[in-house]
Amino acid sequence: MKINSRPAIVLSFLVLGIGIYAGSVWRDRNERITGSRKSMALVAPSDVVARLPDPSAPMLTSQNNGDDPGLAERELLRQELTRVQNRLDELIEFQASLQVSVDDVLSGSGSDDSTPISDYDQSQHFEDAIEQQQNAIDTRLYQEEVDQEWTLETERALNGVLASEALQGFELVSSSCGSTLCKVELSIDPNISPEVAMQKLSHHRSWDGPSFVKLDENGLAQIYFSREGHELPTIDTDTAY
């Protein structure tokens, strides 16, 4: 089973990255504050209170602390806290940009290397797979030996329903059966739309096995069906993502 959990995987790695970054910031901050606290332990509380700087005074650098080591320590601490605040602001910005990237991935509008396949490419891929499936069925049919009894019985039943009122406007062009597969080509009255034709065929078909049908705009129907108890050759028609 193909699991489309790319957004979840991207999100989990982003969360992990944020957590590691936040953890390192937290660690750095703790180290600096703890270190500052160790220095502050050498200063008596009365000294700190007595020497609180005037808030309106100009900022002192560590070189200008003069005779007041406590003031220098506080200034150093303030500057460190400012730096930590700046780093936290950076983290918040980083987180916001990551959220934008996650939103882009989830909406499929991201401009990274994993650009989603266009609708046209998906349809083309699927239609190529359908053509391959039809070729595979034709190949199997060509390789099968003919079961005469089953072929006669199948064609008799087919002619019976084509003659019924329910399938008026449907005419047999050709039929070919092997031992587990049959291919039938019908010409359909152009006044019958493809969707109505397919509905009628599916409902009044003379066979019970699984089928693959192709109705083109010219009124030609190609129908492949397998014998009861047998499966049609299939290929992976899952669209690529």
Partner 1 sequence: MKQSFTLSLCSTALISASILVGATAAVAGDAKTYPGSMCVRYSGSNPSYSGSMIGNPSSSQWLYLDCPAINDSMSEQLHNSWVAVLDRHYSSDVHCSVHSRYWNNSTAALNGWWGGNNYSAGSGNNLQKLSWGRLSGAGDSVHTYFSCAIPPAYSGHVSYIVNYHANED
Given the rule CB under 8 A, which residues bind partner 1?
1-5, 7-9, 11-13, 15-16, 18-20, 22-24, 26-27, 30-31, 34, 119, 122-124, 126-127, 130-131, 133, 194-195, 198-199, 202-203, 205, 208-217, 228, 231-232, 234, 237-241
For partner 1, give the closer residue by CB, 124 or 148: 124
Q: What phi and psi, each to the nearest 5 degrees, are found at residue 70?
A: -65, -40
By the 10 Å C-beta count (0-12 exposed, 13-18 middle, 19+ buried), 203 is classed as exposed
Residue 57 Cβ vs partner 1, minimum distance, rounded to whole Å: 34
Phi, psi of 177 (to 5 degrees): -125, 150
Cα–Cα dist 133/235, whole Å: 6
Distance of closest approach, residue 105 Cβ to partner 1, in angstroms: 13
Q: Which is nearer to partner 1, 102 or 172 (CB)?
A: 102
Least distance to partner 1, CB of residue 230, Å: 10
Return the number of the residue (12 or 97) whose C-beta is nearest partner 1: 12
Q: In terms of CB distance, is 85 or 124 closer to partner 1? A: 124
CA–CA distances in Å: residue 142 to residues 90, 176, 211? 69, 9, 17
> Do residues 186 and 173 lie in contact, with contact meaning Cβ atoms separated by under 8 Å?
yes
Residue among 190, 184, 154, 156 nearest 172 (CA): 184
Q: Please, are residues 141 and 134 in contact by the beta-carbon 8 Å criterion? A: no
How near is the Cβ of 98 to partner 1 at its closest, in Å? 13
Q: Which residue do the tokens 């969707």 mark? A: 195
Given the complex with partner 1, which of 71 and 223 has the nearer CB atom?
223
Q: Shortest Cβ distance from residue 212 to partner 1 (Å)?
A: 6
